[in-house]
């Protein structure tokens, strides 16, 4: 693809993940998982806020932050193995620490080494978020110990997929009939039939097999969908984002990035023509970090010739949420 412009908008993130564009404030949300921080970057003013979220009792990694629709300055977050709610206002100091206002659910109680990883809201505003297990000493993932959960708007939680190794990217087709999902250590992009009313999924199949598609060293990570129905997938270890046509299971575009460990993607900007990309310093050796000054940066990619769609916020039943927390705190 010609005419692509890649801009480094923020450096120095340890493990960037979970980008989410807030259209009403024209800002990018994302997290630094290992530091337990949420970030908010205002594109026009370049204001950069960092919010440290305290341990909610099941671990201190923060992997998701998504606005709660209709509730100003409230966000749903994953902290360790917990789904929780925080308050964060643009008027807060740019460097700030908060406790969670309430923990909605804590999962995988019998698996204390598990933590939440990637997550996103479906077209109905339900939150889907998955876990994985990490071996304490080596830091390596333990296969088949995680699950993919769905948090409904009435705050009920359902386990949708079991025996997940590293739960990662999620996207829904434009006709709301297909759910796309990445379990990173399956080395494939998979699809399920999806019922938008009930959130039930079935008939899992492979859209793109990494090993047979020339991506032997790459790991599928975060994912989003564009206005034409094509998938954009961050490739950890792969130094790139790929665009996949899921109808034919083929890679149709590749965007090379100046760092190896690319973690996630989302569409944003005034007209949703900017692809925001997160990356990580983790997983790189000392000499690799020395040669990759852009490792851990947040990038803005323009000139792709396609646009994305607005992200869905969490559409919780606000009365139920009010029963759980004090909005005035």
Indicate the helix (H) or strand (E) that contains 288. helix 286-291
- Separation CA 9–CA 27 (nearest Å): 12
The residues assigned a catalytic role are: 221
Query: What pLDDT was estimated at residue 325?
Result: 78
Query: What pLDDT was estimated at residue 171?
Result: 98
List Cα–Cα distances, 307 to 22, 266, 328, in angstroms: 16, 11, 38
Place of tokens 């090379």: 256
- Separation CA 198–CA 250 (nearest Å): 30
| β-pair type (95-98, 48-53) | parallel
In tens, the pLDDT along 61-108 reads 999 999 999 998 999 999 999 999 999 999 999 999 999 999 999 999
| CA nearest to 61, candidates 49, 53, 69 | 53
List Cα–Cα distances, 97 to 36, 38, 51, 312, in angstroms: 10, 10, 6, 26
| List of the chain residues with pLDDT < 70 | 1-2, 136-139, 326-329
3: left (phi over 0), alpha (psi -120 to 50) or beta: left
In tens, the pLDDT along 103-134 reads 999 999 999 999 999 999 999 999 999 999 98
Q: What are the structural domains of the chain?
A: 5-324 (2.120.10.30)
- Separation CA 233–CA 254 (nearest Å): 10
Asked if 296 and 13 touch (Cβ cutoff 8 Å), the reply is yes
pTM of the model: 0.96
| CA nearest to 279, candidates 260, 255, 293, 303 | 260
- Separation CA 263–CA 79 (nearest Å): 18
Query: Tokens for 93?
Result: 């100091």
């Amino acid at each position: 693809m010609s005419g692509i412009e890649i801009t480094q908008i923020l450096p120095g993130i340890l493990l960037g993940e979970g980008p989410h564009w807030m259209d009403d404030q024209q800002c990018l949300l994302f997290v630094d998982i290992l530091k337990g921080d949420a970030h908010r970057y205002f594109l026009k003013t370049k204001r950069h806020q960092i919010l440290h979220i305290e341990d909610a009792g099941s671990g201190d990694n923060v992997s998701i932050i998504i606005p709660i629709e209709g509730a100003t300055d409230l966000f749903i977050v994953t902290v360790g193995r917990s789904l929780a709610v925080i308050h964060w206002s643009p008027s807060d100091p740019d460097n700030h620490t908060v406790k969670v206002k309430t923990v909605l659910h804590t999962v995988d109680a019998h698996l204390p080494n598990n933590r939440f990883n990637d997550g996103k809201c479906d077209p109905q505003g339900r939150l889907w978020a998955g876990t994985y297990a990490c071996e304490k000493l080596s830091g390596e993932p333990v296969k088949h110990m995680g699950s993919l959960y769905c948090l409904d708007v009435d705050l009920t939680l359902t386990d949708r997929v079991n025996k997940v190794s590293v739960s990662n990217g999620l996207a829904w087709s434009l006709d709301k009939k297909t759910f796309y999902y990445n379990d990173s250590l399956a080395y494939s992009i998979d699809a399920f039939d999806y019922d938008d009313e009930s959130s039930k999924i079935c008939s899992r199949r492979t859209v793109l097999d990494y090993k047979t598609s020339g991506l032997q060293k790459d790991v599928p990570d975060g994912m989003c969908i564009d206005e034409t129905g094509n998938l954009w997938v961050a490739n950890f270890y792969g130094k790139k984002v790929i665009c996949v046509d899921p109808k034919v299971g083929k890679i149709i575009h590749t965007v090379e990035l100046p760092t190896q460990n690319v973690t996630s993607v989302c569409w944003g900007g005034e007209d949703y023509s900017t692809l925001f990309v997160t990356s990580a310093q983790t997983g790189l050796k000392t000499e690799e970090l020395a040669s990759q000054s852009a490792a851990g940066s947040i990038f803005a990619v323009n000139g792709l010739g396609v646009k994305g769609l607005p992200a869905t916020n969490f559409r919780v039943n606000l009365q139920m949420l009010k029963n759980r927390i004090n909005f005035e705190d």
